[in-house]
Structure 1
Amino acid sequence: MTTPTARLVEEGVSIWLDDLSRQRIESGNLAGLIESRNVSGVTTNPTIFAGALAKGEDYEAQVTALSADGADVNRTIFEITTDDVRSAADILRPVFDATDGVDGRVSIEVSPDLAHDTAATVAEAKKLWARVDRPNVHIKIPATLAGLPAITEVLAEGISVNVTLIFSLERYAAVIDAYLSGIEKAREAGHDISAIHSVASFFVSRVDTEVDKRLDAIGTDEARELKSRAGVANARLAYELYEREFATDRAKALIDAGARVQRPLWASTGVKDPALPDTLYVTELVAPGTVNTMPEKTLEATFDHGEVTGDTVTGYYADAHAVFDGLKAVGVDFDDVTDVLEKEGVEKFIASWHELQGTVAAALDAAPASVEEAAQ
């Protein structure tokens, strides 16, 4: 009997797990999810690593060794996170090989403190890429205004990129342009452009959270009827934009030369409103050539009772446009919504990064003075 996650794969959706920890790696849990839940990739972010390191036990030996070596907080975070990503990439390498590099990917993010600094983002992306030293890694760069030129420059170096924190169609169009520009530059520099991969991470549930708050404040029947529809509609229109932009002469010329398309990735797919179906942002966003990166809770819900009925995106563009016409009619300023969400997204990742720094600082302070002392 075909499982719902296997059905997703049949429909052209890649399932990536939005979580990583050393315990998940060393216990065999990640390998098990690849085998039983059709997981073909992993994404990480500062919040995920903050949660993993807060548990502490799996990292004690490495923290002790790094402390004895005089490592500061940032070096310790760099070593720990790149080690975990490298290990996960090795577990996923068979998937990478079997899919010609399309899947089997693990993403690691540049420090969110650099979200508004182009040059520093480029420098850290190169450093992360070199340190992990695996072809099946994506470097995550946020789609801020400063991030856009960084995306182009990092791709131009032959480095695969996961563009994160995309909320608006306008910014998504700029991300696609940054991607195409990066591939053009990589080609000019003599890189094998068929080996450069990218995904564009379009956030979903956070859109509904912000829009629904505004619809509740408006309070009319027309507003209430639009609740919990904006996130899916926005993602569907993103896919419409993706289809259009990768059918241009510019994109087709690069694809004919061996370039890959930049796949849309649905992020923030865990349902925030408990009144909604827990698989909403999976089953309503099924389309060929997409990635859905799921927290484990959403993954298990999908495996258990997700109803995968085929493509739920490309035949729904008119409905999606109607949702946005409705939002405008009741007074929701969607440009302001996406501005707020981008700002909050960066701020939340910065807060998680600082939480991670605090956790590591405390672990370094508590570490034995030497590896020998820890063994006693």
Structure 2
Amino acid sequence: MKNATLIVFNGAGKALEEMETPIPELQPGEILIENLYTTICGSDLHTFCGLRNEAVPTVLGHEIVGEIVSFHSGHNKKDYLGNLLEIGDRVTWSIFASNANSDKARAGMPQKSDGLFKYGHATVTETDALHGGLSTHCILKNGTTVLKISKGIPLKVAATINCAVATVAGAIRLSGSLQGKKVLISGVGLLGVVCAAMCSADGAQEIHVADVNEARLNLATSFGANVQHLLTDETLLPNDIDVAFDMSGSPDAMESGLATLAVGGTAVWIGAVFKNREVRVNAERVVRNLITIKGLHNYNYEDFVAAVQFIENNYTKFPFEDLVSAEFSLRDAESAFNYAVADKPIRVGINVAKKTDDEQQ
């Protein structure tokens, strides 16, 4: 079988390296995927800039969508929901492979199972290199949750399903029904706008968004947000919120979110995935006001299913395509990262099949 092309990350401050590697024979349970599109996640940027340590060399990128090239001969050729899979089908897959029979998975936390494997975070070796988005191919390992998706979903939208959208689906699960509720979303990046859209689809009465960036607040209105709060030292937030979502990871934002909650309110935190100062919590207020605090890292199988269903039902109702503001070829990945760092867009896309300007001439 032909070689795959990879763009390898060797450490912060070092140039990305293009290399080729033979596509190995598939092992039991594996599927070979041709990557079509990858979007650069915030965690990719943290690694690229040295704010997050990752074993190198590695192939970054875990927000990926692709099409099936081949199966291991013993594969049952079915996705997680039992749909038959064929060569050429478009699929999305969980950002992790785990043991579905483990205690953590049975308890609804497969993303915390022993022996977890995460795409876009693993070390490149001579025999195992195809596990990231900055590559022409990816091998889906046994224990990966695979879901068939419609080819009508734009690639730049489909690529985000298995990270941001699925994570927000998990946050919505933890919040409970939002019908008629007042919600606050702190942090209007991709997680925040997806959260606004999901809250809107779930029937929330008021969707408040809070951020230091006015342009992002305005963007959120296209995704269902109807109350904006531009954060300054003088900003007064409401005090009757039912659910406060934090997508920012900012201790200040989490503390402010707790202060907005009405009696019986719930805080759902998913943004705090990097080191920061500790959050100050008024325990007496939590106790007397019956407040619940929940945290989520990544997502479980059902969240992933919910994410696919949400996008299939809503990708034409909200302007998700507009969230990818620039698109680069695979060989221009370094430019894509530099653009993302400098301009801080919601997302930058890597169209794996796109040719560079030099290749087009």
Q: Compare the two structures and name the one with the higher helix fraction.
A: 1
TM-score (norm 1): 0.26
Higher relative contact order (CA 8 A, sep 6+): 1
The structure with the greater share of residues assigned to strand is: 2
Normalised by the length of structure 2, the TM-score is 0.27
